[in-house]
């Protein structure tokens, strides 16, 4: 059985893309309450692991356990409703909806009753208070009526994070939340993640090592689909294999 402090576990997780093993025998363990980083060079298989965990892809072999339950065969939407909510490497908003409406899409799901096509949308106005406070948390309260497509990149990512948090996930999966951001935005988003992590567990893919060092308590290094090393930042960053594989590949 899964020990109690483990929120998420993969056993021998493998993904074969027509002969190419993108993920090889990965045993990943994410402790409850951790901010856990998944790092590795480009093409290491990080996003593929996320796609497997959220059931956007089916593993070739191995299993996935969340809260002690086997979710290897669950549907993506089921996994999300159990509390595993992801963000995407490329920012994922609903472009022509306003910032407020973006958040409401998430709040509405938690509220239910979304198949009642004969209902007036006035029932949604009851969600506005909560939506606004989520927007305010990420500094977007003045953008509430701006279409997401018109927001600058950093704000799009902030909106995406706020939408994800609207679901109050117990496990937050963030795929490169600071990618493509300027220095200031990186600091802001890191701070947001730190605050969001209170009371929940975070697994994040991140290339920005100072962010990883500052935020994460456990780091798993992936290389060519396999786990190369695992431990605290201090441990991992001293590991010669990691230096060679990861830092070397970055330079």
Partner 1 sequence: MTVRARAVLGYGLLVGIGLAAPFLVYPVFAMNVLCLALFASAFNLLLGYAGLLSFGHAAFLGAAAYAAGYVTREWGLPTEAGLLAGVAVGAGLGLGFGALAIRRSGIYFAMITLGFAQLVYFLAIEIPWTGGEDGFQGIPRGKLLGVLNLDRPLVMYYFVYAIFLAAFWLIQRTIASPFGHVLRAIRENEPRALSLGYEVSRYKLTAFVLSAALSGLAGALRAFVNQFAALPDLYWHTSGNVVLMTLLGGMGTVTGPSVGALLVGVLENYLAGLGSWVTVITGTVFVLCVLSFRRGIVGEVRALVKRSF
Ligand X SMILES: Nc1ncnc2c1ncn2[C@@H]1O[C@H](COP(=O)(O)OP(=O)(O)OP(=O)(O)O)[C@@H](O)[C@H]1O
Rounded to whole angstroms, how far apart are CA atoms 166 and 49?
A: 24
Rounded to whole angstroms, how far apart are CA atoms 85 and 161?
A: 10
User: Which of partner 1, ligand X, Mg ion, none lies near 167, with the C-beta cut-off 5 to 8 A by kind?
Assistant: partner 1
Positions 167 through 196 that interact with partner 1 (CB under 8 A)? 167
Positions 48 through 77 that interact with ligand X (CB under 6 A)? 48
- 80 lies in the site for partner 1, by CB under 8 A: yes
Q: How far apart are the first and last CA of the chain?
A: 42
- 42 lies in the site for partner 1, by CB under 8 A: no
- Nearest alpha-carbon partner for 169 in 148, 193, 186: 193
The answer for residues whose C-beta is within 8 angstroms of residue 34's C-beta and 6 or more apart is: 7, 201, 202, 217, 218
CB of 249 to ligand X, least distance (A): 10
User: Which of ligand X, partner 1, Mg ion, none lies near 108, with the C-beta cut-off 5 to 8 A by kind?
Assistant: partner 1
Positions 14 through 33 that interact with ligand X (CB under 6 A)? 17, 22
The token duo for 22 is 């993108």
CB of 42 to Mg ion, least distance (A): 8
The answer for residues whose C-beta is within 8 angstroms of residue 110's C-beta and 6 or more apart is: 166, 167, 168
- Nearest alpha-carbon partner for 193 in 170, 167, 174: 174
Q: Which is nearer to ligand X, 16 or 185 (CB)?
A: 16
Positions 112 through 131 that interact with partner 1 (CB under 8 A)? 113-121, 123-124
Helix, strand, or coil (residue 29): strand
Q: Which is nearer to Mg ion, 47 or 91 (CB)?
A: 47
Please identify, among the stretches 43-51, 133-141, 159-167, 181-189, the one whose residues bind ligand X according to the rule CB under 6 A.
43-51
The token duo for 29 is 């363990």
Binding site for partner 1 (CB under 8 A): 54, 56, 75-78, 80-81, 85-86, 88, 92-97, 101, 104-106, 108-109, 113-121, 123-124, 163, 167
């Amino acid at each position: 059985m899964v020990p109690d402090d483990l929120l998420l576990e993969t056993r021998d997780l493998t993904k074969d893309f027509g002969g190419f093993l993108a993920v090889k025998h990965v045993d990943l363990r994410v402790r409850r309450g951790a901010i856990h980083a998944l790092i590795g060079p480009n093409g290491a298989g990080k996003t593929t692991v996320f796609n497997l965990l959220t059931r956007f892809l089916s593993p070739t072999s191995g299993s996935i356990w969340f809260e002690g339950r086997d979710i290897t065969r669950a549907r993506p939407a089921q996994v999300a409703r159990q509390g595993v909510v992801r963000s995407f490497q490329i920012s994922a908003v609903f472009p022509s909806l306003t910032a407020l409406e973006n958040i409401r899409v998430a709040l509405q799901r938690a509220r239910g009753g979304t198949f009642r096509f004969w209902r007036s949308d006035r029932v949604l106005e009851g969600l506005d208070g909560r939506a606004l406070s989520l927007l305010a948390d990420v500094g977007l309260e003045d953008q509430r009526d701006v279409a997401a497509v018109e927001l600058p990149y950093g704000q799009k990512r902030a909106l995406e994070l706020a939408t994800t948090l609207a679901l109050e996930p117990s496990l937050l999966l963030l795929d490169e939340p600071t990618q493509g951001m300027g220095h200031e935005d990186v600091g802001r988003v890191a701070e947001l993640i730190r605050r969001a992590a209170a009371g929940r567990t975070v697994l994040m893919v991140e290339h920005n090592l100072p962010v990883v060092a500052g935020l994460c308590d456990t780091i798993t290094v992936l290389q060519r689909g396999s786990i190369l090393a695992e431990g605290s930042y201090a441990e991992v960053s001293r590991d010669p294999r990691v230096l060679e594989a990861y830092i070397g590949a970055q330079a």
